[in-house]
Amino acid sequence: MMEPERPRIAVSACLLGQPVRFDGGHRKNRLLYELQNWVEFVPLCPEVEAGLGVPRSPVRLVRTPLGNRLVSPRSGEDLTERIRAHAQTRVDALRAMGVVGAILQGDSPTCAPFRARVYDPSGRVTSHAPGAFAAFLRAAWPHLPVESEGRLRDPVLREHFLAQVFALHRWQRFVRSGPRPSDLVWFHTREKLMLLAHSPARAAQLGRLVAGLDRAEDALEAYGTVFAEALATRATRARHVNVLLHAAGMLRDVLTPTERHELHESIDAYRSGWVPLVVPVRLVRAWVRRAGPSWLRDQTYLAPYPDALGLRNAV
């Protein structure tokens, strides 16, 4: 299969405007429309793909002694195993396609990644849980970034999700290029500040792994797992400040005293919450391009995704 130029994200088809809901409707999402120039969407609808058709009887999660089951309340039919059987095939196909993230419909009994309603046998809502397909997806593919369209309205969660998606896409392209052991050193060096912003502990773990390179195949598999785990940890304001101060230190000898003061003022303003992250990052980028060391110029942290997404304007 041809290597994707843009990150591939699996998306509930109803969120893309496809009329696949049980009543023939959709839930077209504006945010996805805004993302479509920067990522490639892979539509999915487990219920339709499993042969339930449109229109169809609605389904719900029902708590039973065997666990949560996907049931049609009108007929009483248990569709759990049918959806799980489809999920196995679908997840394997998504992996083969190079998918690096998923955005799923947030309250669907099939797709909801976190909080689908769970009913008791009498029809009362008693709790919330992942939908039947989403539960399988998350168990089978624990390092895949998965979000609901509703949670992505939060700018912090949106930035975190897309930071993971673009980072995993960089890793995917790197692995498929057939790298040598020495190439992993190059990849890790470029990702170092990005990793420090998310998980300093795992960044150190990856540094030790790269320093002790042996067989490339084993190293790639181990690195990829910890890399995904590191990015799954949400970056914090404090860790961003530490990364920015590290970058400022690398620029110390190429900035004038006035420029150093301006950069530190910008970092302090971000630390205090007065300006968004984009302000100090753009200052660092401008001075790096002018005279910064090549190690810093190549850091993916300075441009981990397209600027036009505006993700750092609100965090």
Q: Is residue 54 part of a domain?
A: yes
Which residue range is the domain that position 159 belongs to?
Answer: 154-315
> Is the omega angle on the peptide bond into residue 55 within 30 degrees of 0, that is, cis?
yes
Q: What is the 3-state secondary structure (H, E, C) of 201-246?
A: HHHHHHHHHHHCCCCHHHHHHHHHHHHHHHHHCCCCHHHHHHHHHH
Cα separation, 35 vs 276, in Å, equals 21
The whole-number pLDDT of residue 282 equals 97
**Cβ(176)–Cβ(3) under 8 Å?**
yes
Count the neighbouring beta carbons within 10 Å of the beta carbon of residue 277: 20
Domain boundary, last residue among 137, 153, 169: 153
Q: Does a structural domain hold residue 145? A: yes
Give yes or no for residue 230 having a pLDDT over 50: yes
What separation in angstroms does the CA of 97 have from each of 10, 35, 229? Answer: 10, 19, 21
Question: Average pLDDT of 249-260?
Answer: 94
Q: 199: part of which helix (H) or strand (E)?
A: none
Q: What is the pLDDT of residue 197?
A: 98
DSSP codes joined into one string, 86-121: HHHHHHHHHHHTTEEEEEE-TT-TTT-SS-EEEE-T
Residue 315 lies in a domain: yes
Q: Are residues 210 and 262 in the same domain?
A: yes
Q: What is the dihedral of CA 199, 204, 205, 208, to 10 degrees?
A: 160
The rounded mean pLDDT for the chain is 94
pLDDT at 291: 82
43 with 112, same domain?
yes
Burial of 44 (0-12, 13-18, 19+ CB in 10 A): buried
DSSP 26: -
Quick check: is 2 in a domain? no
Same domain, residue pair 313 and 199: yes
Q: Are residues 147 and 183 in the same domain?
A: no
Per-residue tokens: 2: 């041809």
* Distance, CA of 138 to CA of 123 (rounded, Å): 27
Q: pLDDT of 81-135, one tens digit each?
A: 999 999 999 999 999 999 999 999 999 999 999 999 999 999 999 999 999 999 9
Q: How far is CA 29 from CA 159, 180, 271, in A?
A: 17, 42, 33
Q: Residue 116 half-sphere exposure, CB side, CA atoms within 13 Å?
A: 25
Look at residues 153, 186, 201 and tell me which one is the last residue of a structural domain: 153
Give yes or no: residues 12 and 46 share one domain.
yes
Domain check: are 167 and 304 in the same one? Answer: yes
The model's pLDDT over 41-81, given as tens digits with 9 standing for 90+, comes to 999 999 999 999 999 999 999 999 989 999 999 999 999 99
Residues 168, 311, single domain; the answer is yes
* Domain membership flag for residue 3: no
Give the strand order in the sheet containing 40-44.
40-44, 8-12, 99-104, 146-148
Q: How far is CA 4 from CA 18, 98, 156, in A?
A: 23, 7, 26
Backbone angles phi, psi at 69, to 5 degrees: -125, 150
Domain count, the chain: 2
29 close to 105: Cβ distance less than 8 angstroms: no
pTM (predicted TM-score): 0.95
Distances from the Cα of 6 to the Cα of 30, 55, 169, 311, angstroms:
20, 33, 8, 17
